[in-house]
Structure 1
Amino acid sequence: MAISVGVLGFYCSAVSFAEELTAGVVVTKMEAEDRFPFVTGIVEGLAYERYQRDGKATAGMKCIYEWGFNAENVVKIYDAFKAFPDYTPAAVVSAMAEKECPR
């Protein structure tokens, strides 16, 4: 019986996380202490992609790091998530990074 209850608990938990992860979900349902590491993960991914795309030149990557890890800009990212709640978080951050660090 304990196994059945455990499986049922796992199933219910999985169903509750079936919601699409949008920028709106990040600012309304994600715990505040989890948002910063989540956003920095996106910034890290964008910076690495830029490094690869630029043929391993570091200027674009450095720009993205300096922009994305700046506390004031993180607040702007959260504000953009509120303004564009139906977009994916990565799409919002990517558009902002492209504006600040054009190719």
Structure 2
Amino acid sequence: MAAMSELNADFEDVNGETIVTLSKKKEQKDGPLKGVNFINHNDTIRTNSTITTTCVSVRLPFNGELYGYDVEIPNGHQIDVNQTVITPMRDEIRIRIVKIGQFTLHG
């Protein structure tokens, strides 16, 4: 499998949570991911993605390529793996990260 092609990531902190919205970059939207509806790949995304206390890794293997993004949790901090959720939608993948303690996540 080729190197991972990163998706765009937008971070928003709200009430002890961070919502990370992953979207296609322009070259992905116009090229290999054109017309791809992420919700149609829900099972593949959930199977290939991982959530640990220190990292959320979203993965979509598609047509021999790998797309995704890693949200690294700062040293000394953790997230609640049972409440953190990856939700594929039509044109984006939303990650709801529930933080343990106060800290800020950003890309």
TM-score (normalizing by structure 2) = 0.34
Specify which structure has the higher proportion of strand. Answer: 2
TM-score by length of 1: 0.35
The answer to which structure has the higher helix fraction is: 1
Greater CA radius of gyration, 1 or 2? 1
